[in-house]
Structure formats: structure tokens, C-alpha cells
């Protein structure tokens, strides 16, 4: 039997509450016997809900995350332009136009096995970007020659687009397609065509009683009045982490399993 590579994918980290619970969760894993060979996290909302500062990039790097994926909000903190080209972990959506800062995929060497991680934006209800479908068709064969395991963070709004993209990627022998962006973990984890691990949305890491990580009052005012309102991070004490755990065949890249993770911590009990 071929060796298995165990991967943890952490959903959108939202602000300080999200960073704290990811740090604590990984701390628990590392204090025992961390089963994961490779850890990925979506970080486009990690700095006060919008973008990623270099300080937070370095902070998250130090706790054992191997790769950072992102999305349309990765540009919201302007210091991103000063360090994205130097980061060896961070990727931005590949289907931005040619010449955009950063890279759309990276290949990592884990225990002698190459893992490629890609990031794409959806195009339904999103700002115009290049076609992810065309990029996959053009590039995937060359990438799979170097990396048997290929994992895609598909940062998209529409459920149907995500499901269809997952099916499309399975036909191209991509190991996993993991949805992000909508922040609500879906209950449809599966292996498509006996090859590709899939979930429509991995969920988010942030305040449990929030509006996808943001405060209730500001969200309510904006929705009731239709007037733009500043969103602030919800800092209530109960915080959740959402993620998926996956196993892959190290030789073929075929997904063997996918399992949802939902972890809740009450920080009021910690500080009481």
C-alpha cells in the first residue's frame, strides 16, 4: 500500500478571533502527536476581516501553517504589495490578469512528495477575472508531472459554480477542490469520481455568534437600511474553527478520505 499524505485545510480566518483559535487548535495538535503532514489556511480576511498584513502573515507562519491561500480581499491591506512577491507560502488567485503581484500556485515538497496548491476565483456574482476552467485545461498536465497531489482553493460565491468546478477538476485528476468565500461550512463533503475530495465551503474561523465573522449591529444596519456601514470584527468570546481533514495517496494523488472539522472554544472560561 502506498504512503498516505494527511492534509488539514483551514477555512477563512477572520480577524484576531480567527487567528487566536487557529493558533490554539494547532497548539493542541503540536502538543500531542500532530497527524498532519501539510497544513493550508485561507488568510484573505485574517487582518481585521479584510486582507493580510505582513505582521499577521509572519505570525501565522510561525504556528506551523505551510501554505496560505486567499481571495478577492487579499489586496485590502496595502502593505501586501511590499511582501507578497517575497513570501514563500502565500498564493493569490491564479486567474487575475497577467502581471498581477504574487503567484497563483506553488509546489511544496513534503516527505519527498510534491504537493501543488492552486487558488482560483469564481466568476458568478464576482468581479471579472480570467477563466479558471481554461487555466486548468492548459496547465494541469504540466503541473501533475511535477506534483501528484494537486489541491485547489476555489474562492467563489455560487454553489452551482463550485460543484460544477469540482466535477470538472475531478475529470482532470485534481486531488481536492475546497470551496471558500461564503464562510458557512457545508455538509456535502465527498469524493467525486472516486478521485477528488470536495466540499462546497470549508467554513470560517471566527466569532461563533457573529455574522460570518462580523458584528451583528453593523451587519443589521447595513441590511435594513441598504446604506454602506462599516463592518467590524465580532469579538464575542465564543469562537469556532472550521476545517477539513483529508488523506491522499502519495503516488497517485487520489483522495482517500475527507472529513469536516468543527471546533468551538469559549474564551470567557479561559480568562475568568
Active site residues: 73
Q: CA nearest 48: which of 207, 226, 271, 258?
A: 207
Q: CA nearest 202: which of 22, 17, 75?
A: 22
Compute the radius of gyration of the chain from its Cα atoms: 18
Contacts of 62 (CB under 8 A, 6+ apart): none
Neighbours of 47 (CB within 10 A): 26
- 71 three-class SS: coil
Q: CA nearest 223: which of 211, 238, 205, 239?
A: 211
What backbone phi and psi angles, to 5 degrees, belong to 92? -115, 165
Contacts of 78 (CB under 8 A, 6+ apart): none
Strands (E), 111-181: 113-121, 149-155, 176-180
Amino acid at each position: 500500500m502506498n504512503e498516505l499524505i494527511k492534509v488539514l485545510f483551514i477555512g477563512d480566518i477572520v480577524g484576531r478571533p480567527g487567528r487566536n483559535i487557529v493558533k490554539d487548535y494547532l497548539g493542541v495538535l503540536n502538543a500531542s502527536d500532530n497527524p498532519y503532514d501539510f497544513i493550508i489556511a485561507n488568510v484573505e480576511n485574517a487582518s481585521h476581516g479584510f486582507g493580510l498584513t505582513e505582521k499577521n502573515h509572519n505570525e501565522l507562519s510561525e504556528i506551523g501553517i505551510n501554505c496560505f491561500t486567499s481571495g478577492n480581499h487579499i489586496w485590502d491591506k496595502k502593505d501586501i504589495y511590499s511582501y507578497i512577491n517575497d513570501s514563500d507560502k502565500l498564493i493569490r488567485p491564479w486567474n487575475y490578469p497577467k502581471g498581477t503581484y504574487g503567484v497563483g500556485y506553488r509546489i511544496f515538497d513534503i516527505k519527498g512528495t510534491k504537493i501543488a496548491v492552486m487558488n482560483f476565483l469564481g466568476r458568478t456574482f464576482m468581479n471579472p477575472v480570467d477563466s479558471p476552467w481554461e487555466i486548468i485545461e492548459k496547465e494541469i498536465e504540466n503541473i501533475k508531472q511535477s506534483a501528484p497531489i494537486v489541491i485547489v482553493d476555489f474562492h467563489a460565491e455560487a454553489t452551482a459554480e463550485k460543484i460544477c468546478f469540482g466535477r470538472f477538476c475531478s475529470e482532470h485528476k485534481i486531488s481536492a477542490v475546497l470551496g471558500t468565500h461564503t464562510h458557512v461550512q457545508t455538509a456535502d463533503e465527498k469524493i467525486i469520481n472516486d478521485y477528488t475530495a470536495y466540499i462546497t465551503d470549508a467554513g470560517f474561523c471566527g466569532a461563533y455568534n457573529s455574522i460570518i465573522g462580523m458584528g451583528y449591529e453593523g451587519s443589521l444596519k447595513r441590511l435594513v437600511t441598504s446604506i454602506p456601514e462599516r463592518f467590524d470584527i465580532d469579538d464575542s468570546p465564543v469562537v469556532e474553527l472550521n476545517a477539513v481533514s483529508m488523506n491522499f495517496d502519495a503516488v497517485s494523488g487520489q483522495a482517500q478520505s475527507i472529513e469536516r472539522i468543527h471546533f468551538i472554544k469559549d474564551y470567557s472560561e479561559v480568562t475568568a
